[in-house]
Chains A and B, each alone.
Chain A
Amino acid sequence: MSTSATTVLVLVEAEPEEMSTLSLEALTFARALAEPAGATVHALVVGDLPANGAGELSSHGAQVVHQVSDPRLAAYSAAAWASCVVDAIGAQSPAVVLAPASPRGNEVIAHVAARLDLRMAANVTEVISAQVQDASTGDAALVVRRQVMGGAVLEELDLVGSPALFTMAGHAVEHTTVESPAPAQVIATAPISLSAADLVAAVRRTVPVASSGTDLTRARVVVGGGRGVGGADQFDELIALAGRLGGALGVSRVVTSLGWRPHHEQVGQTGSRITPDVYLACGISGAIQHWAGCSSAKTIIAVNTDPEAPMVTKANYAVVGDLHQVVPAISSELDARHH
């Protein structure tokens, strides 16, 4: 950041009880970007804040929190949210606007980019160079690095235009709190430019997912199954172990493609991205597509007959062998130790 007057604006998302993890990561990232330049970190939240929302935002470095409220914002509409962001940009003239690369973050920032005819970079992991001049136009540009191909490749690009718009890849940074946070200044605002057209594509109805087990994306333990499981009727041992560990079952793309398991259990680039404490990947070779979804697990234990499978070589721990022998043995061992 070149001048101390600039701000970094972060669009954050509230979950019913707390701010989303990805939002806190985005704030942490914004802080690192703002601090050297003496810039101010602003958070923007559309709709209600959770009880401790302001506190969480403060402790993660938000100096100012803009809370936009309006009855018309009760049902989510990307266009409506985007109008709020555009309002804030108009008011604050931030140098940078970012959001978590969640489905909503990407969607809203894309709307903002379309409205302001700006570039946007999705899934950014790093700002390489804080500010450069675009050679052709002389415009300011950030050089950013972002994930493409599910994180198998990084793209470096010039993010020309002001403000710089991007979304932060999940788990690119670990969210941290500031040492002695000052409570953020919470400014309640009303939307300025929100129009009826922005509400056309609003959510009409939300049906909570009837989850049969622990939610995959939040589970502390995920037991994964791949092609090596062998068939739709071969998952019992994995499900039993997941249950035994209070975790969830996750599967590779080939498993859902073959119709062995439902899609919502898929871990990967086109499925869920999981962040468990331990991922026990059984009979999964570890193709890029899958790795994109599971690489944020804190510990990976692979069970595979092929010691050279990428899942094994990338794992922290591995058992080389047939999962149909190893998995029941783990369950038995757990039983033996705890009875």
Chain B
Amino acid sequence: MSTVPSRARTVIIGSGIVGNSVAYHLARLGWRELVQIDKGPLPNPGGSTGHASNFIYPVDHSREFADITKDSVRQYQELGVFTQSGGYEVARSAERMQELTRRITSAICWDVPAELHTPDQVQEKVPFLDPSVIVGGFWSPTVGVVDSLRAGTLMRERAVELGALTTVANVEVTGIDVERGRVVRVRTDKGDIECETIVIACGVWSPKIARMAGAHIPLTPAVHQMISVGPVPELAAIPGEISFPIVRDMDTFCYERQHGSDMEVGSYAHRPILMRAEEIPSIEQSALSPTELPFTSDDFDPQLEQALELMPAILGNPDVGIRYAINGLLSLTPDGFPVLGESPEVAGLWSAAAVWIKEGPGVGRMIAEWMVEGESEIDGAHSDIARFYPHQTTRHHIVSRTSEAFNKTYGIVHPSEQWASNRDVRLAPMHASEKELGAVFFETAGWERPFWYASNEGLLGEYRDRQDQLMPRSAEWDSRWWSPIINAEHLAMRERAGVFDLSAFNIFDLIGPGALDAVQRVCVQNMDVGVGKVVYTPVLSPRGYFKSDLTVMRLGEKHFRVVTGGAHGNPDRKWFTDNAGPGVGVVDLTSSWTTIGLWGPKARDILGRLTDDDISHKGFGFSSCREVEAAGLRVLASRISYVGELGWELYVPMEAGARLWNAVREAGAGDGLVPCGIGVYGTTGRLEKGYRAYGAELDGERTVVEAGMQRPKVKEVDFIGREAYLRQREEPPASLLCTLTVDDHTSSTGEKRYMLGGEPILTPDGEPLVDGHGHRSYVTSAGSGPSVGKHLLLSYLPPAVAVEGTKLSVQYLGERYPVTVAVAGSTPLFDPENTRIRA
């Protein structure tokens, strides 16, 4: 009956909260010729928005989530569809209570009001809750409920008023045409739409739609059970949708949310029930809607018992009946973050998927800014669709990880928590040796990386008189996913030498006549250097915020090699590729090369035993790279360091990695060379040197100046973000990254406690510090500095307090500890003159 326009600038597929929000924000930012389609009717096309419980808890440990949620609430309020109810997260156990104190620290960091309440205080606000069941509650006064369908309608209407949007309901996508790697057309049962870009905002159906274009959106539809019971006289007595705070019963993974005279009970406690997008019934086939599947009561019965325990007064009433019960579908991703941004597989194909009600409008704005302006105000790096490696888009991986994560929806997740499922996907060539050495493996992007080696336990005895440097942790939470062996390995490296498996590096080459132009355009530092030079450089967004930091080797006149972190390497490669310009090829070599790091005072002696080439300081200076013959291999050696010691990164073909690893270990045996884990490489060695890490200190909301990484001169050649960077250099910085030392670790119980990162930095009196962005100061990285004998914290501080010697405090699990600003800026705390690197 209805037809679709034959042309559009952008086709938005989906009319849930996300599609509507993307449409509105694209229109607001000036885009026109937007066509939005949905296979269902309006205003509720039958996706997950239609059955959402529609409540919003603003606190999250993730800054990205917290900021997006805050932005969403602001938009919902502005649309007039937000009702503040307040909300509790209640604890039934001491372990949960500790987690709630940790949530308080996150609330302080992200500037969200919150406080801890006693059971009686909880009962004051929720009179039908049995206080004897709980040990306390986390009170979040700004929790509220929204009308997400109404919000969507209003956003569509605004886009229509701007003359920007045509929405056609009941249109089913039948195909997406891709030509020369770019989307050109959406095919539907009501006609084809020629277009430049497509936004997939189809929630649980997104993987199916993406496949039509040959791309992957790694999410799975999963069941979240919900029942609605009523009529509850206590609730019916007060008019309005919600008069009592929402309660999240954290230890039972359930929530209770008033909805008029009914109480909705939702659960994340049941077994993971996953589907495929292809298995979701059509609107016609569905009993209620495609995302409201028949309730499987057996799965929910245990939760009924727990809900009854918590609220016996109303849920135990025999006249209060279960009036509605569904297996609702929502989207889960392998790492719990949304899937946002342009697909690295198909140009012009954007994903806005795996987004919950609390993030919908914020994500809409983020995607629209990203599309229109090239970057968004809130950094969405953790949600970038480009983050996924191929194995992470497989069904096996998605099912493994979402099944493991489902019951952690309300779980207590340690900041270093490791996945148990689908491990051993990417193994370094020296993996077998590492296993023999008792490596404790942590995973990065599928790589199994040794974090420390049990075989180094003997070092603890060797250093037993230096407990102030080993800094053992007695509290279980602090020592979970940690070992003092890391600190012992660190000391051995600083005193002798350490060998590191760095196979997880993401490596790609830019080759061709346009290669120099390409790296000059993308990188802040001058890349027109001699062949054989290695340059560490920031990479900036157009507005001058960090896109990445990485090293570039010039291997030839027209040949550059980029080495970057495994976790963020794919978005980096996409950024280089998107901005490469003509005459250059970008070649992924991650799986071709392995990297072995060799650092420490004895590094030259050890490498010298394997090569006849000149590796003296004069013959092989810092920041240079070249091929050497070592251990019967041709090795690309690069003299740089992320741990502040003399040494090299040694690159060999993956298949030769084991040989080189063994050769280095043998050559170093006499010098006391130790294998060192990523605990040293990524934390202790790095923090002592004040080296910044992308994703912790460096992200899309911080500048080179704030990070203290500006050099005296800015290269003349234009590069992305140059104009902004020049301006930033002239202005006083909004904040400055500092290294702080913890002055006293002793808690009120007399136990020494060690911060793990993510804690607020406060004045000595406990007042938050606010920087020039309006952000509060928090710990971006935390860890031991064994050689300096201090626990180190990195944090962006307001310039006024970013002064060495300033006394501040850090709040950790409900208590404050004194800290001192040890370094303002990037001067290393250890070996400030960098003499060791240049030895």
Contacts and interface: CB of A to CB of B under 8 A. Distances in A.
Interface of A: 305-310
A308 B169 CA distance: 9
In the A-B complex, list the 6 residue pairs whose CB atoms are closest, starting with the nearest.
Answer: A306-B41, A308-B170, A307-B1, A308-B41, A307-B170, A307-B2
A248 to B, nearest CB: 29
A309 B41 contact: yes
A310 B41 contact: no
Contacts of B41: 305-309
A309 to B, nearest CB: 7
A136 B283 CA distance: 43
Contacts of A310: 284
A256 to B, nearest CB: 15
A17 to B, nearest CB: 43
A307 B283 CA distance: 13
A306 B15 CA distance: 15
A307 B169 CA distance: 9
Interface string B6-42: 0000000000000000000000000000000000010
A305 B44 CA distance: 11
A102 to B, nearest CB: 30
A306 B284 CA distance: 13
Contacts of B283: 308
A310 B283 CA distance: 10
Nearest to B43: A305
B633 to A, nearest CB: 66
B183 to A, nearest CB: 26
14 contacts: A305-B41, A306-B41, A306-B169, A306-B170, A307-B1, A307-B2, A307-B41, A307-B170, A308-B41, A308-B169, A308-B170, A308-B283, A309-B41, A310-B284
Contacts of B284: 310
Nearest to A305: B41
Given A306-B169, A308-B169, 12 more contacts: A305-B41, A306-B41, A306-B170, A307-B1, A307-B2, A307-B41, A307-B170, A308-B41, A308-B170, A308-B283, A309-B41, A310-B284
Contacts of B169: 306, 308
A154 B1 CA distance: 30
A307 B170 CA distance: 8
Contacts of A307: 1-2, 41, 170
Contacts of A305: 41
Most chain B CB neighbours (cut-off 10 Å) among A305, A307, A308: A308
A284 B2 CA distance: 20
Interface string B268-305: 00000000000000011000000000000000000000
A194 B169 CA distance: 64
Nearest to A313: B1
A306 B283 CA distance: 12
A115 B186 CA distance: 65
A244 to B, nearest CB: 29
Nearest to A309: B41
Most chain A CB neighbours (cut-off 10 Å) among B2, B41, B169: B41
Nearest to A320: B1
Nearest to B2: A307
A310 B1 CA distance: 14
B749 to A, nearest CB: 58
B725 to A, nearest CB: 53
A310 B170 CA distance: 12
A287 to B, nearest CB: 9
B624 to A, nearest CB: 68
A48 B610 CA distance: 117
Contacts of A308: 41, 169-170, 283
A252 to B, nearest CB: 15
A309 B2 CA distance: 14
Nearest to B171: A308
A310 B282 CA distance: 13
A308 B284 CA distance: 10
A305 B41 CA distance: 8
Nearest to B44: A306
Contacts of B170: 306-308
Interface in B244-283: 283
Contacts of A306: 41, 169-170
Nearest to B284: A310
Nearest to A287: B287
A224 B229 CA distance: 29
Interface string B157-180: 000000000000110000000000
Interface string B37-53: 00001000000000000
A305 B283 CA distance: 16
Interface string B417-444: 0000000000000000000000000000
Interface in B41-83: 41
Nearest to A312: B1
A191 B41 CA distance: 61
Contacts of B2: 307
Contacts of B1: 307
Interface string B594-616: 00000000000000000000000
A120 B2 CA distance: 47
A305 to B, nearest CB: 7
B51 to A, nearest CB: 15
B673 to A, nearest CB: 71
A310 B286 CA distance: 13
B239 to A, nearest CB: 15
A254 to B, nearest CB: 11
A308 B2 CA distance: 10
A249 to B, nearest CB: 25
A7 B169 CA distance: 57
A308 B170 CA distance: 7
Nearest to A308: B170
A306 B2 CA distance: 12
A305 B284 CA distance: 16
A316 to B, nearest CB: 15
Nearest to A310: B284
B373 to A, nearest CB: 37
A308 B41 CA distance: 7
A306 B169 CA distance: 9
A307 B3 CA distance: 12
A308 B283 CA distance: 10
A318 to B, nearest CB: 9
Most chain B CB neighbours (cut-off 10 Å) among A306, A309, A310: A306
Nearest to A307: B1
A43 B633 CA distance: 104
A310 B41 CA distance: 12
A310 B285 CA distance: 11
Contacts of A309: 41
B188 to A, nearest CB: 13
B396 to A, nearest CB: 37
Nearest to A318: B1
B736 to A, nearest CB: 57
A135 to B, nearest CB: 35
A309 B289 CA distance: 13
A257 B467 CA distance: 73
A309 B40 CA distance: 10
A305 B153 CA distance: 14
B236 to A, nearest CB: 15
A164 B66 CA distance: 72
B154 to A, nearest CB: 17
B294 to A, nearest CB: 15
A4 to B, nearest CB: 49
B319 to A, nearest CB: 15
B289 to A, nearest CB: 11
A308 B38 CA distance: 12
A310 B284 CA distance: 8
A308 B168 CA distance: 12
A309 B42 CA distance: 12
A305 B169 CA distance: 11
B766 to A, nearest CB: 53
A307 B1 CA distance: 8
A305 B40 CA distance: 12
Nearest to B170: A308
B564 to A, nearest CB: 49
